[in-house]
Structure 1
Amino acid sequence: MRLRKLALLLAVVGLVCLPAPVYLPALAGATSPPPQTSQSYRAETVSLANESDIETIVSRHGRTVSISVHQISHRYSAGEYRAPNETRETLAAAMRNGTARTASAGARADLQAIARNNTYVHDAYGERQQYYRFSVEENGSVVTARNATLQRVANATVERGAYRYENLSPGARETVDRILRNSSDEDFGYRPRVNDAFVDRLPALVEKDGTLHSITVYGHVDDFGFGVSLVVGLGVAGVGAVLILVGGVLYAVAWWRE
Structure 2
Amino acid sequence: MERWAGRVALVTGASVGIGAAIVRQLVQNGMKVVGCSRNIEKIEALKTELSSAKGQVVPVRCDLKNEQDIMDMFTMIKRDLGGVDVCVNNAGLAHAAPLLSGETKDWREMVDVNIIGLTICTREAVKQMREKGANDGHVFLLNSMSGHRVIPSPNGHFYSATKFAVTALGDGIRNELREMKSQIRITSISPGLVETEFAYRMQKNDDKAKALYESIKCLQADDIADALVYALGAPAHAQIHDILIRPTDQVS
Query: Which bracket does the TM-score occupy, shorter chain normalised?
Result: under 0.3
- Structure having the higher Rg: 1
Give the TM-score normalised by the residue count of structure 1: 0.20
Which structure exhibits the higher relative contact order, with contacts defined as CA atoms closer than 8 Å and separated by 6 or more residues? 1
